[in-house]
């Protein structure tokens, strides 16, 4: 646990009642800017003069393949992005930039490419933006984490190429206001595996929310956007940055950074998913949710088991919240893992050497055969106990 004091943020006072998302369907969505990082990682592999107009691969790993595509001809006027990818459509937009659905001319596969909204404003801004690449490369691969492929910079823009998913949980919630509880359990289990994998490697996400959760074409939930991830074994607490206030665990306001903060953020995300709740960003409602006072009317259509899981994950005392492993061992969840679709997923994870060859017609198999998926020793223990 890391603890230090920092100023408590001031929240809006005008949100004192809870409302459903359905009642706010016509309200335009506002995307708040991401707060700047408090410090930057060292840039030993990048010269201070490198703001090249030509594409340059970005990597912080000494053994990484940081070569550019053979389709790139730097003598041509078109950008690396336009030369090496067939761009189909813009599929997302946020505080960082725009996300596009593309097909690589290198291998014919579909990917998502995120382009920064603005050019680098200087050396420190460039360093801050490229931190996300370093954090992507730090993460051990996992089925329930959005996979990172490569990054490059060109004309002072940053591009990040990742696995393509069907939609974000945010977009899903905008059109689905009565989500079947069976699906809620499925998504919860997927995300518990993602969080457990991070926590097994002593990493905290710190920004779990629907914007950063993605649903693959075969319905698997994946956690993405690792710009705020911290390594508890290395990071100075002063380098940590809190995420979205709507999903923020209260103890983070006092700079108490533990894995339990991710459990709270996931719990309140599941509450939002299951109850169609428009989460308050401040005021009385914000504090009520963090004091364990969840409006009973939102639980009317939920099973007692799901209600209890959500309440446990959102416990006001972070020391009393269950870990991801403990949640996976809850009987209601453990029993669910012995039936499809999660049982089939676990069987393949525990017995398969994954490869990276797939096509548009084989998307379902892809989710179980992507190169590089790893299970920690604790994951394998979980799988073994379930299968026995």
Binding residues: 115
Torsion-angle region of 300 (φ positive above 0: left; ψ -120 to 50: alpha; else: beta): alpha
Tokens coding 4:
């230090």
Q: Has 231 been annotated as catalytic?
A: no
3-state secondary structure labels for all residues of 242-271: CCCHHHCCHHHHHCEECCHHHHHHHHHHHH
Q: Give alpha helix (H) positions in 258-357.
A: 260-275, 283-289, 304-313, 324-328, 331-336, 342-351
Which residue out of 190, 200, 207, 244 is catalytically annotated? 207
The alpha carbons of the chain give a radius of gyration, in whole angstroms, of 21
Widest Cα–Cα separation across the chain: 64
- DSSP state for residue 326 in the 8-state scheme: H
Residues whose CB is less than 8 angstroms from the CB of residue 363 and which lie 6 or more positions away in sequence, other chains included: 216, 217, 218
Q: Which residues are annotated as a binding site for ATP?
A: 115
Handedness of CA 263, 265, 267, 270 (dihedral sign): negative
Q: How far apart, in whole angstroms, are the C-alpha atoms of residue 190 and residue 101?
A: 24
Q: Using an 8 Å Cβ cutoff, are 308 and 330 in contact? A: no
Q: Select from 220, 221, 222, 261 the least CA-distant residue to 244.
A: 261
d(CA 233, CA 235): 6
> Which residues are part of the catalytic machinery?
207
């Amino acid at each position: 646990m890391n603890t230090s004091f920092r100023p408590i943020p001031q929240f809006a006072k005008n949100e004192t009642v809870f409302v459903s998302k359905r009642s706010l369907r016509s309200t335009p969505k506002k995307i708040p800017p991401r707060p700047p990082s408090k410090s930057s990682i060292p840039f030993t592999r990048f010269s201070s003069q490198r703001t090249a107009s030509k594409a340059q691969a970005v990597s912080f790993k000494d053994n990484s393949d940081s070569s550019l595509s053979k389709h790139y001809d730097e003598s041509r006027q078109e950008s690396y992005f336009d030369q090496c990818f067939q761009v189909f459509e813009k599929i997302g937009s946020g505080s960082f930039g725009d996300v596009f659905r593309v097909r690589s001319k290198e291998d014919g596969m579909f990917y998502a490419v995120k382009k920064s909204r603005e050019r680098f404003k200087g050396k420190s801004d460039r360093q801050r933006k490229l931190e996300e690449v370093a954090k992507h490369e730090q993460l051990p691969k996992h089925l329930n984490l959005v996979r990172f492929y490569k990054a490059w910079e060109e004309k002072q823009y940053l591009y990040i190429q990742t696995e393509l998913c069907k939609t974000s949980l945010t977009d899903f919630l905008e059109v689905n206001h009565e989500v079947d509880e069976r699906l809620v359990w499925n998504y919860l289990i997927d995300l518990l595996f993602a969080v457990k994998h991070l926590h097994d490697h002593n990493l905290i996400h710190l920004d779990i929310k629907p914007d950063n959760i993605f649903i693959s074409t075969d319905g698997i939930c994946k956690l993405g956007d690792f710009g705020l991830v911290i390594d508890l074994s290395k990071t100075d607490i002063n380098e940590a940055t809190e995420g979205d206030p709507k999903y923020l665990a209260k103890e983070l306001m006092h700079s108490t950074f533990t894995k339990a903060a991710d459990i709270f953020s996931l719990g309140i995300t599941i509450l939002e998913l299951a109850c169609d709740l428009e989460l308050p960003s401040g005021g009385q409602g914000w504090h009520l949710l963090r004091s364990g006072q969840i409006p009973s009317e939102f639980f009317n259509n939920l099973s007692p088991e799901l209600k209890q899981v959500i309440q446990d994950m959102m416990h006001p005392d972070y020391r009393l919240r269950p870990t991801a492993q403990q949640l996976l061992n809850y009987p209601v969840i453990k029993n669910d893992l012995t039936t499809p679709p999660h049982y089939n997923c676990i069987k393949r994870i525990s017995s398969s050497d994954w490869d990276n060859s797939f096509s548009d017609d084989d998307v379902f198999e892809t989710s179980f055969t992507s190169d590089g998926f790893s299970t920690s020793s604790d994951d394998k223990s979980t799988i073994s106990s379930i299968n026995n």
